[in-house]
């Protein structure tokens, strides 16, 4: 049984999809949870949906903006205490073929998916290092490991996140701050809902388990990495993809 009683968890993009499932599972394990997202109303609704012993708050912030990310961390520390578990989950796609991809689409995806994670890690890790304890879990993607047509920006951001995870794992290990990544495959969320039936079929045919993953199945991997069970794991990328890239 995983027990995170009293721990403070910050989940970016915790208002829906995979992030919401992560927030729910960390909360159910006893953590106090801060949900960081741009749409405040949805984040509030998600936080209000967490009912139990712990505290849950919603913090409006765009993680691609360093000043907003820093303020979000300050607010969480003020209201819940220093962060024990940081989950960098906020991310999105803006697909297009490389030759026609705009600089704006490149920057937007990199700024949230990669720079957003870097900024959050920078501000959260200071207190973690001082306290000689902490867990950071970055949500990357199998696309960052294998690439994908039409997703040069997204694949680069997710591959970058793996490099960031490994560098930070080495840098922070002496302070007992463990940094890992979870790489989901094809998970049923808003992000994948708009695929054409043909694209969905094509993806399904590549998944040995024969079905899409559920957000809760990704969250379970995060919960494990956040727990005492994972005390000797750092710099690892845990793939949760139904066997897709095996
Ligand atoms: P969703 O689109 O369902 O949710 C994304 C979440 O991130 C929302 O809560 C959104 O809230 C938040 N968010 C987006 N941009 C920002 C920002 N700049 N600042 C703060 N919050 C932000 O996505 P998923 O749940 O599907 O994906 C979650 C993560 O998992 C992403 O990093 C994604 O790349 C990754 N992933 C998903 C896969 C899948 O198949 N679904 C597969 C592999 C990886 P708001 O809009 O209010 O800001």
Which 3 state secondary structure label does DSSP give 84?
coil
* CA 33 to ligand 1 center in whole angstroms: 17
Check pocket membership of 189 for ligand 1, CB cut-off 6 A.
yes
The residue ranges of the chain whose pLDDT is under 70 are: none
Check pocket membership of 186 for ligand 1, CB cut-off 6 A.
yes
Per residue in 216-229, pLDDT tens?
999 999 999 999 99
Catalytic-residue membership of 154: yes
Atom of ligand 1 nearest to the CA of 38: 48
Largest CA distance in the chain: 52
Check pocket membership of 19 for ligand 1, CB cut-off 6 A.
yes
Per residue in 26-80, pLDDT tens?
999 999 999 999 999 999 999 999 999 999 999 999 999 999 999 999 999 999 9
pTM for the whole thing?
Answer: 0.98
- Residue carrying structure tokens 């990328």: 237
pLDDT reported for residue 168: 99
DSSP label at residue 151: B
Helix axes 215-226, 17-28, angle to 10 degrees: 50
């Amino acid at each position: 049984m995983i027990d995170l009683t009293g721990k403070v968890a910050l989940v970016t993009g915790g208002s829906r999809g995979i992030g919401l499932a992560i927030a729910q599972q960390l909360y159910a394990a006893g953590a106090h949870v801060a949900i960081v997202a741009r749409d405040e109303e949805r984040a509030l609704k998600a936080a209000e949906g967490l009912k139990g012993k712990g505290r849950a708050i919603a913090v409006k912030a765009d993680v691609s903006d360093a000043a907003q990310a820093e303020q979000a961390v300050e607010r969480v520390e003020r209201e819940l205490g220093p962060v024990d578990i940081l989950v960098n989950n906020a991310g999105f796609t803006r697909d297009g073929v490389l030759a026609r991809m705009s600089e704006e689409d490149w920057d937007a995806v990199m700024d949230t998916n990669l720079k957003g994670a870097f900024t959050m890690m920078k501000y959260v890790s200071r207190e973690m290092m001082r306290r000689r304890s902490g867990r950071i879990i970055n949500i990357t993607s199998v696309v960052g490991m294998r690439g994908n047509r039409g997703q040069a920006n997204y694949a680069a951001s997710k591959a970058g996140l793996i490099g960031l995870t490994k560098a930070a794992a080495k840098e922070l290990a002496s302070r007992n701050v463990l940094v890992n990544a979870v790489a989901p495959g094809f998970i049923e969320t808003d992000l994948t809902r708009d695929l054409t039936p043909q694209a969905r079929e094509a993806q399904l045919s590549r998944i040995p388990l024969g079905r899409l993953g559920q957000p809760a199945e990704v969250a379970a991997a995060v919960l494990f990495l956040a727990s005492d069970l994972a005390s000797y794991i750092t710099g690892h990328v845990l793939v949760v993809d139904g066997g897709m890239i095996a």
